[in-house]
Amino acid sequence: MNRNLAFLRPSPRFFSSALRTQSNKLPFVPLVAENGFVDAIGNTPLIKLNKLSDQLERNIYAKAEWMNPGGSVKDRAALYIIQDAEAKGQIQAGGTVVEGTAGNTGIGLAHVCRSRGYKCVIYMPNTQAASKIDLLKLLGAEVYPVPVKPFDDPMNYNHQAKRHAESLDNAVWTNQFDNTANRNAHIQSTGPEIWAQLDGKVDGFTCSTGTGGTLAGVTRYLKEISNGKVKSVLADPPGSVLYSYIKTNGKELDRSGSSFTEGIGQGRVTDNLKPDLEIIDDAIRIPDEESIVMLYRLLDEEGIYIGGTGALNVVAAAEVAKTLPKGSNVVTILADSAHKYSDRIFSKKWLQQKNLYDVLPANLQKYAILD
């Protein structure tokens, strides 16, 4: 230390007395990703949504997954899936990772592939935001946007990805929907983080499902560590079958409806979700109208700029909170930011085409500033 500044150094007595007056919170721990990109994945903040919590008289906490280095919750699955493939000898140095994805898992995989020296090939529905495709290409991925087909069609993007991987040497199809390394990422990281961040005071958890890995993994961890006390609820957009499947105990798969949200909803029960269906307490279907209003409310009231999935999850968390006693803590997932979707969800013209503009309260319509 510069001698001229030495007088600024606190004495040992200062530290001991200062520490004695603090709460029991852990001291700041600087995080350094010594092993590069992958070490920065996880350990995201848990944000209390103050205004919403005050209105509900229950506490809504949201995991800020856009703060992963690749920008979404799917960074976790991408890392664990690739590590699993490496451990099993399914890919060696210089190999190729192939996946079918609506975007965020592909982005996470592309980042991890760049950091580990793998090639990356992505098949995705051609209905996804163009910004996702552009970002994948910027990350060096080979991208194939293909027409939307149901899972039982051989031209479904997942099946095309599998065939592509099988045509190459030293390549792996990471199969995020049915590869349970995805689910394990959340048993081993997301769930424990949530429990530690609230010091075990978790009463409810809800989120939507794409692959089912986040909901299943976090639910499994929270149920086991709480001896089943944490209430878990699946949140579903219109057009997904899981709400009807859970509500009818597996008797119905109602596909009716569609949603502006991307990357969530499902036409089947994936292998990531199957092991934990029996411990999911309930399901809730969230209309697009409620999701878009919450998206704008979170920007206006909480200063949080997120995509449609996170907004739907917060609506669901509010509904779950209403079923619990006052003062309860309900946690959900903010899957990613709004950056990849802004040209749509903040476009007045696009919102009008989707019949979503007029559902926005007048004080929120000011945010729809794009043509």
286 forms beta bridges with none
231 forms beta bridges with 204
157 vs 141: CA distance, rounded Å: 16
Task: List the 59-64 sheet strands across, edge first.
Answer: 46-48, 59-64, 329-334, 204-208, 231-236, 282-285
Can you say whether the dihedral through the CA atoms of 147, 69, 67, 190 is positive or negative?
positive
Residue type for 261, please?
T
96 vs 70: CA distance, rounded Å: 19
175 vs 197: CA distance, rounded Å: 31
Q: Which two tokens stand for residue 179?
A: 């590869």
Contact assessment for residue 203 and residue 231, using Cβ atoms and an 8 Å cutoff: yes
Catalytic residue among 74, 119, 132, 162: 74
Q: Which two tokens stand for residue 163?
A: 């065939």
Contact assessment for residue 129 and residue 262, using Cβ atoms and an 8 Å cutoff: yes
20 vs 141: CA distance, rounded Å: 53
Alpha-carbon dihedral angle through residues 323, 255, 124, 117, given to the nearest 10 degrees: 40
Which CB contacts under 8 angstroms, 24+ apart, belong to 255-260? 259/288, 259/291, 259/308, 260/288, 260/291, 260/292, 260/308, 260/344, 260/345, 260/354, 260/356
63 is catalytic: no
Task: List active site positions.
Answer: 74
